[in-house]
Amino acid sequence: MPPFVQYKQWMTDRYGDALFRVPVEIAFSCPHGRCAFCSENGSRAQQTQRQESPQEQIEAAIRFSKRRYKAQKLMLYIQAFTADLTDPAQQEQIVQCLQDYPFEAISIGTRPDCLPEAAGRFLETLREKVEVWVELGVQTANDETLKRINRGHDWACSKTAILELAERGIHVAPHVILGLPGEVSSDWQNTAAELAKLPISGIKIHNLHIIKGTKLAEDPPPVLNHWEYAEALIDFLRRLPPNLPMMRISTDTPDNELIAPHWHLEKGQFLDYVIQQMTMREIRQGDLFQPPEKPSGNIPKPVKTDDGSITFFSKDWKEHYHTRSGARLEAQKKFVEPAGLSRKLQTSDLKLLDVCFGLGNNSLAALCAADGAKHRLDITALEMDKRIIRAAAEFFQCLETDPVNWRKVLTELYHNSSFITQQASLSLAIGDARYLIRNLESESFDIVFHDPFSSQHCPELWTVEFFRELFRAIKPDGVLLTYSSALPVRGAMREAGFQIGETHPGHRMGNGTLASRRPANIEFPLIGIFDERRSIPYRDPHLCATSKTILRLRQELIEITKR
């Protein structure tokens, strides 16, 4: 029995015979441009390069596969460059090919950042006709490498694409390159470990080739010889799930296009060498595989906001963690800027309370503002749902301007609940904020960021009683910031003792609220007569009521005022 799952035998077991690929070219460019390793012809199949229409390509490929391999069953393979699966013309070509020829399945090569919602829906329609595979150009899970090779997307993008495709019932086969510039064995091992956690159906692996006319050809990096690549490949295979078919473990490039490496083994000889080495060493695919821990609950899928940052939709609270206008923008405009954080850090150390940490955008924005400041920032963060921190650590999109790698910080917080630098610290407490707030010292915070879900969905943290606890925890000259401008929220703040104002009147994201013990700290105070009935606050006398109870009690008070 072979030491790893070979694709041909796997197909025979699944389809009754091997499926021979019929490559068809319908795209002539990639939307991102060219990656550093990519050839000018977009990896076109040799047998289609002299054909024009998809039908001519199919006829030529079928003749070739039947003549050379005695092919009985066929798979349509949309190859070369990146197909636009939202383009009606390209969609029509694919559908027509499936209607005109007896394909058992279709496989489409594409990029993780070329799969919008419309493309996903189109792939689902194809499932009604044949089995659908997407061969996804992942290459590596290392974001620094992806930047280095001009890939145009990060690992989080790849992971999101894999999860969304799998949820639609689409088989996903990532492409991975071992030996990319700057990578070492630990990077390949990490890529294997990350992919092993995901619902993939197959995988394609090969070593780095330096091809004439590419960016890498201008200053060729070192490449792996066949011994080095075999060792890297074997180690990689050992870390993958044991039942995953290996659709490819090496590749070839025409000699007239190849700069390096120049091996002295054919593809079949290399395959035999790997099998021999694994067999004789008594090692197998998957013998280092660690099945992922079962998550403690459903992990939400990331949702991109208008400023390019991500948020999540909470099924528990039935709303997004941030405004769709921009998660990062909201942190900056509703919290950090109106708090005057950068200015205050030039004159004194600050203590910040971040209520409802979530993905950590508010704390990260505070750390960005503190970068290079004269004084120290210490953050205490409260969060109830540890799952969201784990999800954020997997999907958060870092910026080059961030003073810290926020994904690594989130991972550290998830495991150790603290993060410390010379200039700042962040401690995370997990639990119900109504309980945690009572354990905080009185008059200990200069700034409070209050960022729960909306009062309609999470009234527990917008009550008079909770704001009284915040009033107790804040320093006499401290300020509280929140995105909400709801009248019941402002009514609860006033009853708790706060003076209140707007964060930034007329801002396009809407007005938040700034509160303080002292009127002098409020730049834009709210002046005028309040609508007392609409401002009736939420109440939770013992800081333990359910959201339904809190909402019901307020509604009862509203009904009483109508009489």
pLDDT tens per residue across span 461-493: 999 999 999 999 999 999 999 999 999 999 999
For residue 264, what is the DSSP state?
S
pLDDT band at 42 (very low <50, low <70, confident <90, very high): very low
Residue 287 in any domain: the answer is no
Residue 135 in any domain: the answer is yes
- Whether 270 and 175 map to the same domain: the answer is yes
pLDDT of 144: 95
pLDDT of 49: 47
Domain boundary among 247, 264, 281: 281
**Total domain count, the chain:** 2
- Whether 249 and 318 map to the same domain: the answer is no
- Whether 120 and 263 map to the same domain: the answer is yes
Domain boundary among 264, 281, 298: 281
- Whether 241 and 378 map to the same domain: the answer is no
pLDDT of 299: 66
| Helix runs in 101-208, H state only | 117-126, 143-148, 155-167, 185-196
Look at the block and give the residue holding tokens 């609508």.
Answer: 531
Mean pLDDT across 529-544: 87
166 pLDDT above the threshold of 60: yes
Domain boundary among 246, 281, 316: 281
Average pLDDT of the chain is: 90
346 pLDDT above the threshold of 90: yes
Residue 269 in any domain: the answer is yes
- Greater model confidence, 444 or 432: 444
Cis check for the bond before 3: say yes or no (omega within 30 of 0): no
Q: Which domain holds residue 129?
A: 7-281
Indicate the SS3 state at residue 211. strand
What's the CATH number where 522 sits? Answer: 3.40.50.150
pLDDT of 3: 95
226 pLDDT above the threshold of 70: yes
Q: What is the C-alpha R_g of the chain? A: 29
Mean pLDDT across 22-33: 76
- Whether 149 and 19 map to the same domain: the answer is yes
pLDDT band at 29 (very low <50, low <70, confident <90, very high): low
- Whether 318 and 467 map to the same domain: the answer is yes
- What is the Cα–Cα distance from 158 to 142, expressed in whole angstroms? 11
Residue 298 in any domain: the answer is no
Mean pLDDT across 180-203: 96
- Whether 231 and 316 map to the same domain: the answer is no
- Whether 98 and 244 map to the same domain: the answer is yes
In SS3 terms, 55-105 reads as: HHHHHHHHHHHHHHHCCCEEEEEECCCCCCCCCHHHHHHHHHHHHHCCEEE
Query: Which strands, in side-by-side order, build the sheet including 499-502?
Result: 418-420, 424-430, 377-383, 350-355, 445-450, 474-482, 513-516, 499-502
For residue 463, what is the DSSP state?
B
Residue 286 in any domain: the answer is no
What's the CATH number where 215 sits? Answer: 3.20.20.70
- Whether 334 and 212 map to the same domain: the answer is no
- Whether 270 and 360 map to the same domain: the answer is no
Indicate the SS3 state at residue 328. helix
Which amino acid makes up residue 19? L
Residue 461 in any domain: the answer is yes
pTM of the entire predicted model: 0.64
- Whether 241 and 317 map to the same domain: the answer is no
Residue 300 in any domain: the answer is no
- Whether 231 and 330 map to the same domain: the answer is no
Report the alpha-carbon angle 250-112-246, nearest 5.
Answer: 30
